[in-house]
Amino acid sequence: MTETEIPDDHPRYASLVTRHRIEAGVEQGITSKQGLIAQGRGEAFDYLLGERTLPSADAAARAAAATLLLADRPVLSVNGNVAALAPSETVELAEAVDADIEVNLFNHTDERVRRIADHLREHGADEVKGLAGDGEIPGLDHARGVVDADGIEAADVVVVPLEDGDRAAALAAMGKTEIVIDLNPGSRSPRTADVPIIDNLLRAVPNMAAHARDLADATPAELERVVDEFDADAALDDAEAAIREGSFADGDDE
Ligand code: ATP
């Protein structure tokens, strides 16, 4: 079944489209096979969350937008799952907050970075970083720590969707302000983040862009207030409570 053949009144439409995009990403050499496993984990958590954006995740997306608008050198990190699932949405977010886009892969190969960069350009990106590989994240072995010197290495704020815990911790140790999108509130990366967004990246990325557009005329003091009012621990607790207390019927195929 292709994406256009999935009937849009199917009760699991969003989930089927997501699976299809990841599968297509693997076929195009954009997404790694491990990306399929990450997708499966994410889908399970999304099901438990009721496949919706919690109010606490919406507040996180707004705080993330304000953080990005206040940043001097914001960078959106893109891996194979992000590129397959939300390429246009990522480009639109980068435009809304004036951020760079950098391809940054856990299983790095130049070939896959190039394919992802091409894919992002096909979806409207001008410049895509990640191929220079002349910088590093200290504390990780070379293959996992390679970044661009004028990209993630020099960034003050980084958005890392679906990041693995070690790299999230190493980026935090570099002093970066980190925005993590992840559906699992118990995963180490959102627990390391300054702003954890416990939501599906397919919903979170456009939501951040919408908040950024809404906040475009806000003063720095107003943006600071949005950031200060956000409580990361409370947002993680809220998502965990929603999973523990949720009823299967709410997120089921009705
Ligand atoms: P950590 O080392 O931080 O504990 P992990 O081992 O949980 O990370 P992976 O096994 O690589 O990390 O799993 C990828 C993560 O990405 C999972 O936490 C999963 O919930 C999340 N994820 C997968 N797909 C999506 C998606 N579409 N939107 C948001 N999060 C997702």
Instruction: Write the pLDDT tens digit of every residue in 24-72.
Output: 999 999 999 999 999 999 999 999 999 999 999 999 999 999 999 999 9
The protein residue with its alpha carbon nearest to ligand 1, atom 10, reads: 38
pLDDT digits (tens, 9 = 90+) for 65-118: 999 999 999 999 999 999 999 999 999 999 999 999 999 998 788 999 999 999
Task: Say whether 79 counts as a known binding-site residue.
Answer: no
pLDDT given for residue 5 in this prediction: 77
Task: Say whether 189 counts as a known binding-site residue.
Answer: yes
189 lines ligand 1 (CB under 6 A): yes
Average pLDDT along the chain: 93
251 HSE (CA, 13 A, CB side): 20
Q: pLDDT exceeding 70 applies to what percent of the chain?
A: 96
Confidence at 249, pLDDT banded by 50, 70, 90: low
pLDDT given for residue 254 in this prediction: 38
Q: Please state the φ and ψ torsions of residue 100, each to the nearest 5 degrees.
A: -80, 155
Bridge partners (DSSP) listed for residue 159: 76, 179
Out of 16, 22, 32, 41, give the residue to mutate to test ligand 1, the one with the largest number of ligand atoms within 8 Å of its CB: 41
pLDDT at 154 over 50: yes
pLDDT at 253 over 60: no
pLDDT given for residue 252 in this prediction: 46
pLDDT at 226 over 50: yes
pLDDT given for residue 251 in this prediction: 45
Ligand 1 geometric centre to CA of 42 (Å): 6
The protein residue with its alpha carbon nearest to ligand 1, atom 25, reads: 42
Confidence at 6, pLDDT banded by 50, 70, 90: confident
Q: pLDDT exceeding 90 applies to what percent of the chain?
A: 83
Write the class of the CATH domain 55-243: alpha beta
b/e sequence 16-39, b meaning 16+ C-beta within 10 Å: bbbbbbbeebbeeebbbeebbebb
| Nearby residues of 29 by Cβ (< 8 Å), 6 or more positions away | 111, 112, 115
Of 104, 211, 122, give the one whose Cα is nearest residue 161.
Answer: 104
Ligand 1 geometric centre to CA of 131 (Å): 24
Long-range Cβ contact pairs of 84-87 (< 8 A, separation 24 or more): 84/21, 84/22, 84/24, 84/25, 84/26, 84/28, 84/30, 84/31, 84/35, 85/18, 85/21, 85/22, 85/25, 85/201, 85/202, 86/201, 86/202, 86/205, 86/206, 87/119, 87/120, 87/122, 87/123
Ligand 1 geometric centre to CA of 46 (Å): 11
Structure tokens at 246: 């949720």
pLDDT given for residue 107 in this prediction: 78
Long-range Cβ contact pairs of 127-133 (< 8 A, separation 24 or more): 127/100, 127/101, 128/101, 128/102, 128/103, 129/75, 129/100, 129/101, 129/102, 129/103, 130/78, 130/102, 130/103, 130/104, 131/103
Using left for φ > 0, alpha for ψ between -120 and 50, and beta otherwise, residue 219 falls in: beta
Residue type (1 letter), 204: A
Ligand 1 geometric centre to CA of 219 (Å): 34
The protein residue with its alpha carbon nearest to ligand 1, atom 28, reads: 200
